[in-house]
A = this chain, B = another copy of it.
């Protein structure tokens, strides 16, 4: 089945908005074993929308159109579709009722502008929108099925899941069965991941890379005649991937690094505190993005000045003077200090030069020390030299610190 996605909107053409509906749909379709052949984007312009529909009808079996179903004058899709299909716009009673219901639940009434949205091309089937106001619709012409969905990402995704994906699966029964998995790695550049996986290619497996700085994600898709066959394929392949990449793999179930660290802390009943200099609070921010993190995260200190390293964390002044704030003895003292202060089982600390200023020949921008204090691992530190912008250095440092925490429990990197 040849699928085309058409996304519409001036905000897409002028680069103001990323086309997240297209990438979301591409991902959802790929995961189900469909391939999207073409994708077209046009602005809110009658002729161009019409041209896009005509072109797609020549080269696709199913066309998914996003956007232009709203109440404002630049929402033209239904009107253009009606003209393209040679069908008059007619008031759809079901669409109207669903809109009235939804609005009345919110204490609002239907305006004339909203009413326009309930007019659909004759011969189309309404797709009720339970997640917003604009109804969608589907219509077939010359053996090609068209789905028209609202452009609001939340509504687009919900209606893809509710209507479009199940119907495409029904229509394309000859399709291979698919299993897919997202393997997340941290600590190796993409090129090194690729080298380590060389020779693993096999029939029925498709491997896609996604750089997600500072992580590298692999999407593995397995195709089989039965779900069982696809499942066996992916199991075998992912076990080979794991043995090649070892501890660089931190998740195969979609979890973030902070979620994995949280799961491990919770499982071992241990608590954490952080002392950050160059990351400026990012480690604590990531850890506390996880719901329920207050169970294991006690406190964080962002000690940007030497005074606060001394005063709050109790880093001895002579160490600061002798070694400088960016040094192994200082991050060790910071880790022990925040552990003592909070009573946590694990204290983790970072100090470094995020740049762009502040570098020296001995300690260039990107020099980072990470320290840790725990019963199991004792007090230790490691030195790194990272490259990138200020925000990239902060981010990769925070990921390394999360990796340090995970290592306490895993010991397999």
Contact = CB atoms under 8 A, between A and B. Distances in A.
Give the number of copies in the complex: 2
A301 B298 contact: no
A26 B15 contact: yes
Contact of A289 (B37, B312, B394): B394
A288 B304 CA distance: 9
A260 interface: no
Nearest to A356: B291
Interface stretch (A139-147, A167-175, A278-286): A278-286
Interface string A83-106: 000000000000000000000000
A240 B18 CA distance: 28
A409 interface: no
A294 B299 contact: no
A166 interface: no
B28 A357 contact: no
A52 interface: yes
Contacts of A11: 208-210
A302 B280 contact: no
A219 B13 CA distance: 13
A135 interface: no
A43 B37 contact: yes
Contacts of A41: 22, 38-41
A282 B285 contact: yes
B40 A13 contact: no
Contacts of A59: 51
A16 interface: yes
Nearest to A24: B15
A269 interface: no
Contact of A304 (B12, B289, B297, B394): B297
